[in-house]
Structure 1
Amino acid sequence: MDIEKMNSNEFRAFCRSGNQNHFTRTRKMPLQDLPFTMINRKGLTLALELRNYMKIAHPGTFISKPGYLKQRMKLNPDAFLELYKYHNRNFYADSSFSTYKGHLILAADGSDINIPTTAETLELYGSASRKNTKPQAQIGLGCIYDVMNRMILESDCNKVKFDEMRLAEKQLERIPETIGNIPFIIIMDRGYPSTPAFIHMMDKGIKFIVRLKSSDYKKEQSSLSENDQLVKIKLDKSRIRHYEGTIDGERMKELGEISLRMIKIPLENESLEVLATNLSEIEFSTNEIKELYHMRWNIMPISA
């Protein structure tokens, strides 16, 4: 289906990067070959990649690196985003994907990636270096990943300093465009949670499991009397103060309190981690919550 899409007139028009005069003449590297050459890269030098590809696709024809790169510059890079979305939609339209109790298990994560340092990349994405040191351009990558089916559903490149939770919320809004009405649970690490984020997800009916920092809801964590407990969190002035005058602050005042299920997980080093979720005990047991979190963050050794 992907190949049919890539060979369609609609996709070829999309690839022309807004200039419909591109790729109208017969070339050694026609338009339909460009996406294939890039998808089929195997980590060799570009010269070897081109030689190997042309042997299969166009025996007896040679294309130089400059000639290839000139053609590639005409290609609309959003063509790959279009193909990526098309591929993912078709994957979840098929009922053969894996779920856990009928839910897709998704994880939000971010990473920093060094990129070539130029005036343009520094302006677009910023530098990860300290002041008065040689700049290093870097992007902040935010993704939502289906851990059971090994599929990246959403990915965005951002400036090196970006709000991971705000990005994750925007990505979660787009998820139904790919998976339709399939239920899902989003799993997040300690860098993500905030009270407004929890409220946003609960208001939208999004199910989540989040690892808390020891400083998150410190009073409530310290007062846990059970390993799995429903906790009422009062949204008092001290918690609203930071959001005063915002839509989030008004919503927190309106609610007055929220309820989160907190689950303590003993680690091998005898310390504890605390997970927060809006999943009920009827839906998922304590051990199932631990298993779900461990699926994604398997660096955390859970003791028997």
Structure 2
Amino acid sequence: LNPEDKDTYFEPNGKSTRGFNQIHINAMFSLLDKRFTDILVQPARKRNEYSAFCSMVDSADIPEHFKVIFFGDRGYTSYNNFAHVIEKGQYFLIQCNDKRAPGMMGYPVDTLPAFDKDISLILTRSKAVSKYSRPELFSSYRYIYQNAPMDYINDQRTEYDLALRLLRIQLDDGSYENIATNLPEEEFKAKDFKPLYHLRWQVIPISALSAN
């Protein structure tokens, strides 16, 4: 108990009459090796899973010519997270809810059947169309708020091209799950995402995916 540590201390409440200190642990786990490969500890009041993910991706010790897939649940849906994996030369497979998916697709997806779509986006912090370098691709632009992390946009680089793939898959209970990934279609067909999904989320059975 250390009330002087303002980044971890919480005042007395219904759970504790004395107050308490709390940290947040972010861990990277290898699904195939069944072992933890990295850990990042943050003060609870400054917890940021987005920055922790990017930091662990950047520092991951991956042998040359070796490829890995970074899995993440809905809390890790972020263009910045995607970009860090891409810049690392690796792959990601991250869940995406129906509120975030339309930002990528450009239209709502909550009423759509299963699909597998390639998406090419241009990320920018400018709202002025006149500042776009490729205004003919207006529908591909996505505005990134000034306070939203995007480490690859700066004064010298005002736009960032992001190519990804969004899949909508039907679960056995009839509901749908969205998956954002950069896995190439040449090597990973829509049907291959059933065993991939089960590597991380084994409690949710998935029926065979039919995509158009």
- TM-score, structure 2 normalization: 0.71
**Which residue in 2 is equivalent to 1:232?**
120
- Aligned counterpart in structure 2 of residue 215 of structure 1, from 99, 104, 110: 99
Do residues 185 (structure 1) and 90 (structure 2) align? no
Do residues 119 (structure 1) and 2 (structure 2) align? yes
Q: 1:273 to 1:140 in 2, by over 3 A?
A: same
Question: Following the alignment from structure 1 to structure 2, what is the Cα–Cα distance between the partners of residues 199 and 129?
Answer: 40
1:132, CA displacement in angstroms?
10
**Which residue in 2 is equivalent to 1:286?**
190
Larger fraction in helix:
1
Task: Work out the percentage of aligned pairs sharing the same amino acid.
Answer: 24
What SS does the aligned partner of 1:119 have?
coil
Please show how residues 1-304 of structure 1 align to structure 2 within 5 Å. 118-119=1-2, 123=6, 125-127=8-10, 134=17, 135-161=19-45, 162-176=47-61, 179-181=62-64, 182-219=66-103, 220=105, 222=108, 227-235=115-123, 237=127, 239-243=143-147, 247-250=151-154, 253-255=158-160, 257-304=161-208
**Which residue in 1 is equivalent to 2:131?**
none
Q: Deviations over 1:34-71 (max 9, x none)?
A: xxxxxxxxxxxxxxxxxxxxxxxxxxxxxxxxxxxxxx
Question: Following the alignment from structure 2 to structure 1, what is the Cα–Cα distance between the partners of residues 183 and 22?
Answer: 37
For structure 1, which runs of at least 5 residues remain unmatched after alignment? 1-117
Do the aligned residues in 2 keep the contact of 1:263 with 1:276 (CA within 8 Å)?
Answer: yes
Q: 1:127 to 1:297 in 2, by over 3 A?
A: farther
Do the aligned residues in 1 keep the contact of 2:117 with 2:165 (CA within 8 Å)?
Answer: yes
Q: Deviations over 1:178-198 (max 9, x none)?
A: x53332111111111211222
1:120, CA displacement in angstroms?
6.4
For structure 2, which runs of at least 5 residues remain unmatched after alignment? 128-141
Partner letter of residue 164 of structure 2?
A: L
Question: Following the alignment from structure 2 to structure 1, what is the Cα–Cα distance between the partners of residues 84 and 123?
Answer: 15
CA RMSD for the aligned pairs?
3.2
- TM-score, structure 1 normalization: 0.52
Partner letter of residue 102 of structure 2?
A: K
Question: Following the alignment from structure 2 to structure 1, what is the Cα–Cα distance between the partners of residues 31 and 83?
Answer: 25
Question: Following the alignment from structure 1 to structure 2, what is the Cα–Cα distance between the partners of residues 210 and 283?
Answer: 18
Question: Following the alignment from structure 1 to structure 2, what is the Cα–Cα distance between the partners of residues 158 and 147?
Answer: 23
Question: Following the alignment from structure 1 to structure 2, what is the Cα–Cα distance between the partners of residues 301 and 128?
Answer: 42
Do the aligned residues in 2 keep the contact of 1:235 with 1:252 (CA within 8 Å)?
Answer: no
What SS does the aligned partner of 1:302 have?
coil
Which structure: larger Rg?
Answer: 1
Do the aligned residues in 1 keep the contact of 2:53 with 2:81 (CA within 8 Å)?
Answer: no
Q: Deviations over 1:217-248 (max 9, x none)?
A: 32516357762111233536362233489754
What SS does the aligned partner of 1:218 have?
helix
Do the aligned residues in 1 keep the contact of 2:171 with 2:204 (CA within 8 Å)?
Answer: yes
Higher RCO, 1 vs 2 (CA within 8 Å, ≥6 residues apart):
2
Question: Following the alignment from structure 1 to structure 2, what is the Cα–Cα distance between the partners of residues 142 and 129?
Answer: 25
**Which residue in 2 is equivalent to 1:52?**
none
What SS does the aligned partner of 1:222 have?
coil
1:300, CA displacement in angstroms?
2.5
